[in-house]
Structure 1
Amino acid sequence: MLKLYEEVDSKKAYLPVFQKVDKETGKKSDGLSFQLAVLEWGKQNFKDSSQILKELTVRYPQNEKLIYLLALTQERNDQAEEALKTYLSIDLKSELYPVTRVRAFELLKRLGRNEEALAISKEAIDSKSDQAVMFYSMSANLLSATGKNDEAIALVDQGLEGEPSNVELLFLKAVFYEKAQKIKESMAALRDVIKRDPKHAAALNYLGYMYAERNENLKESESLIRRALDEKPDNGYYLDSLGWVYYQQKRYKEAALTLERALQLTNSDATVAEHLGDAYYAGGDEGKALIAYKIAIDTAKDPKDLERVKSKYEMAKNAHN
Structure 2
Amino acid sequence: MLALGLVLAAPATAGATAGTSDLSAYLKARAADAAGRPDLAAASYARVLTASPADPVVAIRAYREALEAGDMALATRAAAVLGKAGVAPADAALLPLADAARQGDTKAASAAIATLAAGPLVVLAPSLYAWVAHAEGRDPEPSLATAAKDPVASRFAAETRTLIAAAPARQPLAIGVSRLLARLASDLAAGEPSPLSIALTQAALRADPRYDGARVLLADALARTKIVDRALAVLDEIDPKGPSAVAAAAERIDILANADRDGEALAAAKNRVDQPGAGAADWQRYADLLLTTGNPAEAATYYQRVIAADGDTGGSWAAWLQYGGALDQAGRWPEAREALEKAVARGPAQPLALNYLGFAQVEHADDIPASIRLLERATRLDPTNASITDSLGWAYHLSGDTARALPLLETAVQAEPTNAEIADHLGDAYWSVGRRYEARYAWRAAVLTAEPSDTARLTAKIANGLPPKARR
Measured against the shorter chain, the TM-score band is 0.7 to 0.9
CA contact (8 A) 1:105 1:121 kept: no
Structure showing greater radius of gyration is: 2
Distance 2:302 2:457 in 1: 34
Match of 1:311 in 2: 460
1:73 and 2:224 matched: no
- Equivalent residue for 1:117, pick from 268, 273, 276: 268
- Kept in 2: contact 1:178–1:186 (CA 8 A): yes
TM (normalized to structure 1)?
A: 0.76
Q: Which of 304, 316, 332 is 1:182 aligned to?
A: 332
In structure 2, C-alpha distance between the alignment counterparts of 1:202 and 1:49, rounded to whole Å: 35
Aligned to 1:104: 252
> Cα distance, 1:171 vs. partner?
1.7
Structure 2 matches for 1:37-56, cutoff 5 A?
A: 50=198, 53-54=201-202, 56=204
What letter is aligned with 2:464? M
Structure 1 spans left out of the alignment, 5+ residues: 1-14
Compared CA separation, residues 269 and 43, structure 1 to 2 (3 A): closer
Instruction: Return the match for 1:138 from 285, 310, 331.
Output: 285
Alignment of 1:119-268 (within 5 A): 119=270, 121-122=272-273, 126-127=276-277, 132-164=279-311, 165-167=314-316, 168-268=318-418
Structure 2: distance between partners of 1:259 and 1:218: 17
Q: Deviations over 1:136-166 (max 9, x none)?
A: 2221121233333332222222222221422
Paired position in structure 1 for 2:443: 293
Q: Which residue does the alignment assign to 2:207? A: 59
Q: Read off the aligned partner of 1:306 and give its amino acid letter.
A: T
Structure 1 residue 307 displacement after superposition: 0.8
CA contact (8 A) 1:106 1:117 kept: no
Provide the residue aligned with 1:273 in structure 2: 423
Matched AA of 1:194:
V
The gaps in structure 2 that reach 5 residues or longer are: 1-93, 122-180, 467-472
Q: Deviations over 1:262-288 (max 9, x none)?
A: 123334200100000111111111121
In the superposition, the TM-score normalised over structure 2's length comes to 0.54
Q: Tell me, yes or no, if the aligned pair for 2:201 and 2:218 is still in contact at 8 Å.
A: yes
Q: For residues 12-27 of structure 1, what are the structure 2 equivalents within 5 Å? A: 25-27=109-111
2: CA distance between counterparts of 1:232 and 1:87?
41
CA distance in structure 2 between the aligned counterparts of 1:107 and 1:282, rounded to whole angstroms: 46
Residue by residue over 1:294-321, the C-alpha shift from the partner in whole angstroms, topping out at 9 and shown as x without a partner, is: 11011112x331111111111249xxxx
**Is the alpha carbon distance of 1:127 and 1:205 closer, same or farther for their aligned partners in structure 2, counting shifts above 3 Å?**
same
**1:219 to partner: Cα distance:** 1.3
Q: Write the distance in 1 (CA, Å) between the matches of 2:112 and 2:438.
A: 65
Identity of aligned residues (%): 24
Secondary structure, counterpart of 1:212 in structure 2: helix
Q: Distance in 1 between matches of 2:200 and 2:346?
A: 51
For the residues of structure 2 that align with 1:249 and 1:104, how far apart are their CA atoms? Answer: 48
- CA distance in 2 between counterparts of 1:157 and 1:283 reads 44
Partners of 1:64 and 1:90 within 8 A in 2? yes
Aligned AA (1:308): R
Instruction: Tell me whether 1:86 sits opposite 2:234 in the alignment.
Output: yes
Could you give the per-residue CA deviations for residues 47-100 of structure 1, whole angstroms, max 9, x where no partner exists? x97478535522332555643442223213433233124346277775x77665
Shift of 1:107: 1.6
Please name the residue that 1:11 is paired with: none
